[in-house]
Each structure stands twice: as C-alpha cells, then as structure tokens.
Amino acid sequence: MFRPVLIISVLFSLYIASHAQSCAKYNFASNQIFSSCNDLPYLNSFLHWNYDQSAKTVKIAYRHTGVSSSRWAAWAINPTGQGMAGAQALVAFQKSDGTMRAYTAPVAGYQTQLQEGDLSFPVSDLSATYARNEIIIFATLKLDGLNSTVNQVWQEGPLSGDSPAMHPTSGPNIQSMRTLNLLSGETGAAAGALNSRTKKKNIHGVLNAVSWGILLPIGAVFARYLKVFPSADPAWFYLHATCQTSAYIIGVAGWATGLRLGSQSPGVQHTSHRVIGIIIFCLGTLQVSALLLRPKKEHKHRFYWNIYHHLIGYSVIVLSIINIFKGFNILNPEEKWKRAYAGILIGLALVAATLEVYTWYVVVKRKKSSRPQHKMPNGVNGTNGHNGYGARAQDRV
C-alpha cells in the first residue's frame, strides 16, 4: 500500500515542479529565443531579453500572467530615478473589439492617465499578444546614453472602456520596481528615493502603532481599573495622563510624517486611512485638553463631563485600532508584525477582562459592607406601649 502512494506522490511533485512558473522554462509561440530572463517578484510578471552591448539595443518580451482581458499591463525603464515618475513605459491591453493595442507612454507624474507619447529613447517592433490569461509585450529599445544597469518598473490595472484606469496604490502594485543589470541579469531593490520613502512609511507606522494603538489603550486601563484600589489614588490619574499625553505627542509626530509622505506622493491616495487619521488627531486634541479643563468632582456638570470624556476616549481607541490595521494593509509588512500587534491587543483585552471582574467583585463587596447591620429592637414604633419617641432611642443609618 505504501509503494503506490509513494509513486503517486513523486509523480505529482514532478508534475507540479514542471508546471511551476519560471521564465527559463517558457517557450514563445513565435519561436523567439531570449538569452536572458528574470522572474519578477510581484504581479505574476516575467521579463525576457537579448542585450547587444555594442549596439546599445535590448530586445525585450515582458509577460504578465493570470490577467483578465479587462485589465492593462505595462513595463517601463526609468532613466532619471526610481519609481513611477519619469518612467518610459510600454503599455498594452485588449480593446473591446478583441484587438490588441500596444503603445508608448512617458510618465511625467503620479496623476498620469498613461497617455500615448514618444519616449526619451527610440522604440521599434512594438507589439502585444493576449492568450491564456497572459499579456506579452514585445519591443526593441535603443538605450544610447544609459548604463547596462537600468531602473525597471512594471504595473497592471483595470480598464475604463478602452483606456487604462488607475491601478491600486497599495501592496504589490507599489512594490513592483527593481534595478536590472542587462549584462548579468542581476536584480536588486531600487535605492535612493524609494528607500527613503519606505523608511518614512515604517517610521509613520511604528509611531502611530505605539502611540494611538498601544499607549492609549494602556492609559484607558489605568484610568478605569487602578482607581478601584484606594492606595492607587491619585497615582492612577497621573499614569493615565502620562500615557494619554505621550500617545498624543508621539501620534502627532507620526501624523506629521504621514503628511510629508503624502506631499511626496501626490498621486497615491488612501482616503479612508487619511480621513480616520484626521478624526483621531482632532479627538485626541480634545482628550488632552480635557485633562486641563475638567471640572472638579463636586461640580454639578462633572457627571456629564465624565460621559463626554469616556465617549471620546473609547471612540479614539476604536478608530485608532481600525486605522492601524488599515495601515498594515497599505504597508504590507511581514505577517509577524501584524500578528505581534494583534497579540498585544489580545493581551490588553485579557488584562482588562480580568480587572473588570475584580472591579465588580470589589464594588459588590463594598455595597454589602455598607448595608445596616442591626435590626430595630422590639418596642419601637408603638410596640409594648411606646410610640417610637419614648425612652428607647431609635437606630439610624
């Protein structure tokens, strides 16, 4: 019984391996042969090329697999920097009548609609095919004045009629760029502005996660549960105020970093993330101000102030957690960071649940201890000839 299962498993593994996506195993229908190829790390894309160093020409075939006929694909070289702005793109898609359109499109900025235009270098033999959910762009590029190492960008997005529409601005779509050495075939992450922007994104994410996502809930736990312990008064208030103020200061720094990122990427829009962030900043400002403007305990409006303060505080916590997970989806970090933050939230929730049970236990115990311990003696309220105002004194609580 074991031998047939082993044989079937081996054959299945060989079948899967033979059908794995790899540029080296691909055979073009037109019998074209490319001496070099590269499996691009994002968007199911592959690049094949022949580079003539003496003539400074490169013949390329860019493949984008697993794509429907209602989407466009593009591959570009950026002679002036990294990323989308300044890229010289080759664009292709299937029109509504079933024919393929392939054209060149210089990308001046992030608000581009991929309008057709001449590139900064000559392009010839431009064509495209679509078959078996795969777009292939063929072209020959004349790269005079460029080194053998180029900055490449590739992209895909939806169609609006017979025109390209805006591609997604998160996840793999904003990571699809690499340097490419046309001689050795080596690739590497684009440096310079990309690394600087990535660093700012990480700083923005860490600051906001630590401030609004961790310190603020900890401050709420201090405020609600430490005051149950008489020995903690007024320490609980100072701990709560410290956490809340620190969260606000660090959060403002993270918010400012996000504003700088937005100014550097005018075409990248994360509307819901930005709107929630603005709301959190405004409500957080109100909460910090409330620490200084709160009425005294004996004030007649203190009850209503408490309702307002708690409502704003819990709203900020809920909105912050939602926005932090939105930030995770935008930054697309390793899964361990999202799990670590979720673990912190679960830990805080368990601590809060435990303290909530203990708080109610203390409250119930105090109520029981405050009840009267003595019954009225016989003879009071008219019994045994007394009307309640006689010689025997009346017990009072």
**pLDDT score, position 18:** 39
Cis peptide bond upstream of 4, omega within 30: no
Q: What is the pLDDT of residue 74?
A: 92
* SS3 assignment for 170-199: CHHHHCCEEEEECCCCCEEECCCHHHHHHH
pLDDT tens column, 304-350: 877 888 888 888 889 989 989 988 877 767 778 888 899 999 998 89
**In the block, residue with structure tokens 């082993």:** 6
pLDDT digits (tens), the chain, 397 positions: 444 434 444 444 444 333 345 677 788 887 788 888 888 888 889 999 999 888 889 999 999 999 898 999 999 998 887 777 788 999 999 998 989 999 999 987 666 678 889 998 999 999 999 998 999 999 999 988 787 888 889 989 898 888 888 887 667 777 788 888 887 766 665 544 445 566 777 788 888 888 888 888 888 887 777 766 665 566 666 777 787 788 888 887 877 777 766 665 544 567 788 888 889 888 888 877 776 777 777 777 778 877 888 888 888 889 989 989 988 877 767 778 888 899 999 998 898 888 888 888 877 877 777 666 555 555 444 444 444 444 444 444 3
Q: How many Cα atoms are found within 13 Å in the side-chain-facing hemisphere of 185?
A: 15
pLDDT reported for residue 378: 52
Known binding residue 299? Answer is: no
Task: Specify the 3-state DSSP secondary structure of 88.
Answer: strand
Q: What is the pLDDT of residue 388?
A: 43
Does 273 carry a binding-site annotation?
Answer: yes
Helices (H), 48-192: none
**pLDDT value of position 346:** 92
Whole-prediction pTM: 0.48
pLDDT computed for residue 235 by the predictor: 64
How many Å separate Cα 90 from the centre of its chain? 30
